Amino acid sequence: MQLSAEGLELIKKSEGFRDRVYRDIAGFPTIGYGHLLKPHESFPNGLTEPEAGAILATDVRQAELAVDRLVEVALTQGQFDALVDFCFNLGTGRLAGSTLLRDLNAGRHDAAAEQLLSWDHAAGVVNSGLRARREAEFHLWTGGNLSTLPVAGSMAPPSMVKKQAAKL
């Protein structure tokens, strides 16, 4: 499977484009559409949007291959897109060791979808940007498209709302 245009748009929208190196929320040097710099990479003059698009295509391909390798069940396009975005954002290792993947590979697609929503913390605190991204992934997973995405914060399924309320 390959990431759909809608999945790619989610990554681009979530990451934004930056032509210069910056530190992401975790403090890692990043450029373009969320590309984590590798030790041998340097962009002293920044990069153009087309250059960032080419790097993004390579990074997306790596996330696609990871999803293909890790997932043992059939996926819809929306589920695949959500998982590729998840891997792109958090890394393959996070998916590989997750309850999300265990639930999915056990055929518990609904439980896996809800697991997406729990990955919204940075430094132990809920991050509104990550929350919106996870909700967009959940929306794709459950068959929605991004053009019909409700207002942020309103996507959580009833069982997740109960869990969140119990934490308060």
* Run of H or E including 32: strand 29-32
Quick one: pLDDT at residue 149? 66
**Domains, the chain, ordered by start:** 5-167 (1.10.530.40)
The span from the CA of 23 to the CA of 4, in Å, is 28
The DSSP output letter for 48 is -
As a three-state string, the secondary structure of 111-125 is HHHHHHCCCCEECCE
Quick one: pLDDT at residue 150? 54
Q: List the alpha helices (DSSP H) in 36-167.
A: 49-70, 77-90, 92-96, 99-105, 109-116, 128-141, 158-167
Is 9 designated active site? no
Give the pLDDT confidence of 45-75 residue by residue, as tens digits: 999 999 999 999 999 999 999 999 999 999 9
The span from the CA of 108 to the CA of 112, in Å, is 6
Give the pLDDT confidence of 149-165 residue by residue, as tens digits: 654 443 444 344 334 33
Lowest average pLDDT, out of 24-28, 53-57, 76-80, 137-141, goes to: 24-28
> pLDDT tier at 115 (50, 70, 90 boundaries)?
very high
Catalytic residue among 6, 15, 49, 64: 15
